[in-house]
Amino acid sequence: MKKGGGRRSSRRSSAAALLETPPQVAFPPPPNQSPPKSTILSNSNKRTKKMTAVRASSIIGSPSLAASKPLADANGLASIPDLKNLASSRLQDLKLHIDRSHTEILKDCDSAHSRLHKRFKIQTQACQQMLDEADKEFKKMTQRTTESREAMMDSKQTAKELAAWEADLKRREKIVVPNPDLRGRQEILELYLQDKPLADDVDAKVIARGTAGFNGADLANLVNIAAIKAAVDGAEKLTGTQLEFAKDRIIMGTERKTMFLSEESKKLTAYHESGHAIVAFNTEGAHPIHKATIMPRGSALGMVTQLPSNDETSVSKKQLLARLDVCMGGRVAEEIIFGQDHVTTGASSDLSTATQLAHYMVSSCGMSETIGPVHIKERPSSEMQSRIDAEVVKMLREAYDRVRSLLRKHEKALHALANALLEYETLNSEEVKRILLPYQEGRLPEQQEEQQEEGDLVLA
């Protein structure tokens, strides 16, 4: 406290001394004339008063206050009370200014704080929302992972169960569902025909006899095709002709009536199919002929269809050899009529079928005298494969020779049947028989002439 009081008193004494003893400023005289002494003193007093006012104004800091009330008397000295009043007013102004500044600063701080708080709140809410969404996605992923694991475990368990079930089935007796027999086909046909109006010539038993080898789906398809044919024809009832049309369509394929064939192609097809029909008619063990046609059906230009007379449970070697001969009939007929250089590719499917059948007889059925009664595995040795191939070629050549000799004997029948096919395009089994019976061996000339006349009447 004492030190502070000493400093304040020294400041006051220095200010008073400054006001009481103004500085003496000496101006140099003009170079040619020296001013009078009275003029120098008056100018000095004016300058002193002005400098005192400037110093007082600099101390007080308010030029307006200094101008409103003189700070110095006639001698240029300011009074102490005036200085105190001015200083106290200035301090009060400074306090007010400081208070106002403090208030404004506080207001600015409060507004900035509120803005920051709002921004922080908004950002906090956004972050919380993002965290909630991430949490939901994480829960979904966790659930999916759990479900996938459970599914994998279930699939593994199911695979194990299936493997065990398959092994159990292998241990058990195999269940074979064969094609229906005559009675089964008749019952299936009666089931599919019971809700359809039928004509008097429809007999399910007759249809069942002519559909040997058909399964349930084939019989259902037969009835549907016949019903569509009846609707197209505008018939009120389902007839036997429409059912026969449906059977031919299933066995032989759809007719291609719009396909154009040249006369040469028709002639070649007629002799080709006549060769098949004559071999099937004159070979013991062959299936009866169902129809012969040169009307293009499916991918074939013509065909001869055969149907077994009864349900077959097993096939003999004679029947298999008869099938080989029938397959060779078309190619041999082309060679006899048109020559070796004019045979066509029409017999490619016949040769493929014959080769597969001969290979089956040799390797699976043991019907070769050279190979013996053995069943050859799928991948035999090279030596065994060579022997099998040689035996297959031998069987095919023997069948070719048998058919060639047969058609040489029945060349007239070959011409007759080919001409009938060129004229009528399609012949059923009865019509084929009436044409070929007169040329069968062992018949008398009178019987042949009568049979020829009957055949002409039937064809007419």
The residues that are catalytic are: 273
- The whole-angstrom separation of Cα 147 and Cα 430 is 70
SS3 annotation, 407-446: HHHCHHHHHHHHHHHHHHCEEEHHHHHHHHHHHCCCCCHH
Q: Does residue 213 come out as left (phi exceeding 0), alpha (psi in the -120 to 50 range) or beta?
A: left
Instruction: State the Cα–Cα distance between residues 336 and 328, nearest whole angstrom.
Output: 12
Tokens of 345: 């590719």
Closest CA relative to residue 272, chosen from 325, 324, 320, 335: 335
What's the gap between Cα 276 and its chain centre?
A: 47
- Name the strands in the sheet holding 303-306, side by side, starting at the edge strand that comes first in the sequence: 303-306, 289-293, 426-428
Nearest to 206 by CA among 226, 190, 230: 190
Written as six digits, the tokens of 156 are 């593994």
- Using alpha carbons, select from 425, 426, 368 the residue that is nearest to residue 396: 368
- Using left for φ > 0, alpha for ψ between -120 and 50, and beta otherwise, residue 427 falls in beta
CB 366 within 8 A of CB 372: yes
